[in-house]
Amino acid sequence: MSADDVLTLAGLEVRRGGRVVVDDVSFSVRRGEVVAVLGPNGAGKSTLLEAIGGVLPARGRRRVEGRVATVLQTPGLASRSVRANVDLAQAWFGVPRAERRQRTIDALRRMRADHLAGRPAAALSGGERRRVHLARGVAVGADLLLLDEPFAGLDPETQRALVADTASTLREAAGAVVVVLHDRADAWALADRVLIVMAGRIVADADPESLMQAPPTPEVARFLGFDGALDLDETLVLTRPAHVRLDPDGEIEATVGRVTRLEDGARIELVTPHGTVFALHPTSTVAEGSATRFSLLGGVRFPR
């Protein structure tokens, strides 16, 4: 454990109903670092967060330097004003009364919710409630802030705006942050580091760019959106659509499979004797069943 580590886990294990749902998890989080936890449904992400927060009993070692605050997925606000809700969270956390007013102002401003300060919580929209809920978590000034899927259930436009503002706010935070997320794009916007959990175990731990450039296993690559697969020279090549370009002079022949229209073009399925990949194309006019060629611009390779 380094002097900057706020959280250290070693061999953490959680059982539910006799089943291991968090299995031998070890990692640390430094002060000022934002760590996103990603994984498929049922992988144990939220259970891990509850164990970190001390809500669930766990085997192994858990060490936290300082105080922990948890922002749950459901924003349960009191029937008071927004300002009072943020103040109440600080009072419960033990923030001195003399500091609360300025902390409330700062947290609401950082979450772009300062215009809501005098509004009753019951009058807020879903997106506004999430902003206030996150502002409460920021205002208490915890050494370790835990966020459980803070953007779940929002419409895409509201989610994009809230993710951007949360990312900016967390970059200014002095403590450490662990956030469980469902959407990879949200993790890339927020996190300095990404942990991928599958079947209760951490199967990848890296910064977002490194993870995309070199996922450690085919399973992790597929989870990260590498949905194309080719068997070439005893090598499994996994691709994302950005790695594949339709090219009349391309090195690989293919038959066009399903063409799926998108907002900005189309997703083209390309079927070959070696496997199937997908490409993005500016238009949806490519005929299904037609012969074509493509070039590989990237991808990741795993020996068979």
pLDDT at position 91 is 96
Q: What would the pLDDT profile of 190-236 be if each residue is shown by its tens digit?
A: 999 999 999 999 999 999 999 999 999 999 999 999 999 999 988 99
User: What is the rounded distance in angstroms from the CA atom of residue 62 to the CA atom of residue 49?
Assistant: 12
Within 10 Å of residue 19's Cβ, how many Cβ atoms?
8
92-137 confidence digits (pLDDT tens)? 999 999 999 999 999 999 999 999 999 999 999 999 999 999 999 9
Q: Is 94 buried (19+), middle (13-18) or exposed (0-12) by CB count in 10 A?
A: exposed
pLDDT score for 173: 82
pLDDT recorded at residue 155: 94
pTM passes above 0.85: yes
